[in-house]
Amino acid sequence: MNRNKIVSTIRLVTLGLLVCFLWAGMANAAPLYRGKFTLPCEVRWGQAVLPAGEYLLRFQDIGTRVFVVIRDVKSGKEVALPAPLASSDVKGTSALLIASEGSQRVVHSLRLGEVGEVFVYEAALVRAAGDAREAHTMQTLPVLAAKN
């Protein structure tokens, strides 16, 4: 009986270690995409307001959610972790699409040509796009793929 208990304990410990290694591998998984962009002026991206400057972004799939982690090049500080409202397939070059909403600049969407998807962040701008009374000027900022 002691032998069965020992074998059972060894199996349980082995299973626990295997789960820990798999979890650590997922947590340290390489991002799906890395890029960089420069903002010429202050821009609101979701709940975050990003001042003009250079930024790095990491596009990562964590479990069932997709996140973009934005890092200020100058300070090295992560400044936002926005989740997109919608996404769809797209072809073309990678770019950050900025819309004017009154006097404020707002990130409308992030298009990643290398990944083949566009991620929409501002639903109100999508709904208003069909309204001829409310014209939005869209600015396209290039997003350059960064080497991993």
Q: Based on the domain organization, do 80 and 8 belong to the same domain? A: no
Residue 131: what pLDDT? 43
- In terms of pTM, does the model score above 0.95? no
Say whether pLDDT at 24 is over 50: no
Query: Per residue in 88-132, pLDDT tens?
Result: 787 788 899 898 888 889 998 888 888 788 888 886 655 544 443
Mean pLDDT of the 53-76 span: 82
Q: Round the average pLDDT of the chain to a whole number and report it.
A: 75
Residues 61 and 120 occupy one common structural domain: yes
Whether residue 14 is found in the same domain as residue 71: no
Angstrom distance (rounded) from CA 67 to CA 83: 5
72 and 138 housed in the same domain: yes
Same domain? 9 vs 43: no
Sheet holding 144-145, edge to edge: 78-80, 65-72, 53-62, 33-39, 144-145
pLDDT for residue 27 is more than 50? no
Q: What percent of the chain has pLDDT over 90?
A: 20
Q: Which of 10-14, 46-50, 77-81, 120-124 has the lowest mean pLDDT?
A: 10-14
Counting the structural domains of the chain, the total is: 2
Is the pLDDT reported for residue 23 higher than 70?
no
Query: Is the pLDDT score of 87 beyond 60?
Result: yes
Other CB atoms within 10 A of residue 126 CB: 15
User: 58 or 32: whose pLDDT is higher?
Assistant: 58
Q: What angle do CA 54, 102, 97 make, to 5 degrees?
A: 40
3 and 63 in a common domain:
no
Measured CA to CA in angstroms, residue 43 lies from 47, 71, 77, 104, 123 at distances of: 11, 14, 17, 7, 16
Domain that holds residue 8: 1-29
Answer yes or no: is pLDDT of 32 > 50.
yes
Which has more pLDDT, 30 or 65? 65
Query: Is residue 142 over pLDDT 50?
Result: yes
